[in-house]
Amino acid sequence: MINEVYGEDSLSRTQVFQWHKNFREGRDDVHDEPRGGRPSTSHTDPNVQKVRDVLNADRRLSIRAIAEDVGIDKMTVHDIIKNSLGMRKICAKLVPKLLTDEQKGRRVAVASEILDRLQTEPDFLDRVITGDETWIFEYDPETKRQSSEWHTPASPRPKKACMSKSRVKSMLIVFLT
């Protein structure tokens, strides 16, 4: 009957039996018993603001790096980020390709050169046996995990290109005749 009246706000059956056992054994107080250990003094409003400022400066920092920067323990930083700030670490969403305006312009220029050559030499493509294009990258890409950032549930998810191995890349077009 209590569950019907109070719903989720009522004690579970197990908890009722636990309280019954405690009172049968002589407990007469419903307040929490004193616990050992020191109370948390690092989860304060100034520390929450410090963590927020550090995250606003660089959202890719790890909990360990933030804890070292702010000067509090890792578990408190984790609790502040997850519960107080409501953030979680999100990996970038993979998209097929992210080309800069310069790379798009270069692609158009190369295609224009091929069309111009076709105007001057109409049989140019008759001599082509095969052709291919590929990207040449200057350095290895960061992994999906390396690209993860701290975001609130309302903030948009960052994007990362699947094929993008660097910000500087060149297109290599090869035709065999």
pLDDT tens-digit series, residues 87-117: 988 877 666 566 778 888 888 998 899 889 8
Same domain assignment for residues 81 and 103: no
Q: What is the mean pLDDT of residues 38-62?
A: 86
Same domain assignment for residues 116 and 166: yes
Whether 4 is covered by a domain: the verdict is no
Whether 158 is covered by a domain: the verdict is yes
Range of the domain at 79: 42-86
Query: Residue 135 pairs with which residues in a beta bridge?
Result: 171
Whether 1 is covered by a domain: the verdict is no
Q: Does the structure show a pLDDT above 80 at 132?
A: no
Whether 76 is covered by a domain: the verdict is yes
% of the chain residues with pLDDT over 70: 80
Q: Which of 20, 52, 86 is the last residue of a domain?
A: 86
Q: Output the CA–CA distances (angstroms, integers) from residue 154 to 86, 108, 135, 147, 150, in the order listed.
A: 10, 38, 35, 19, 12
Same domain assignment for residues 155 and 139: yes
pTM of the model: 0.46
Instruction: Summarize pLDDT for 54-95 with one digit per residue, the tens.
Output: 999 988 888 999 999 999 999 999 999 999 999 988 877 666
Same domain assignment for residues 103 and 162: yes
Same domain assignment for residues 63 and 103: no
Count how many domains the chain has.
2
Rounded CA-CA distance 97/171 in Å is 13
Same domain assignment for residues 172 and 101: yes
Q: What is the mean pLDDT of residues 9-27?
A: 86
Same domain assignment for residues 121 and 50: no
Q: What is the pLDDT of residue 164?
A: 46
Instruction: Summarize pLDDT for 154-170 with one digit per residue, the tens.
Output: 887 776 665 544 556 67
CATH of the domain at 68: 1.10.10
Q: Which residue has the higher pLDDT, 144 or 30?
A: 30
Instruction: Summarize pLDDT for 19-34 with one digit per residue, the tens.
Output: 889 889 988 888 877 7
Q: What is the pLDDT of residue 142?
A: 65
Rounded CA-CA distance 35/39 in Å is 9
Same domain assignment for residues 67 and 102: no
Q: Which of 150, 154, 146, 155 is nearest to 53 (CA)?
A: 150
Q: What is the pLDDT of residue 138?
A: 63
Q: What is the pLDDT of residue 144?
A: 66
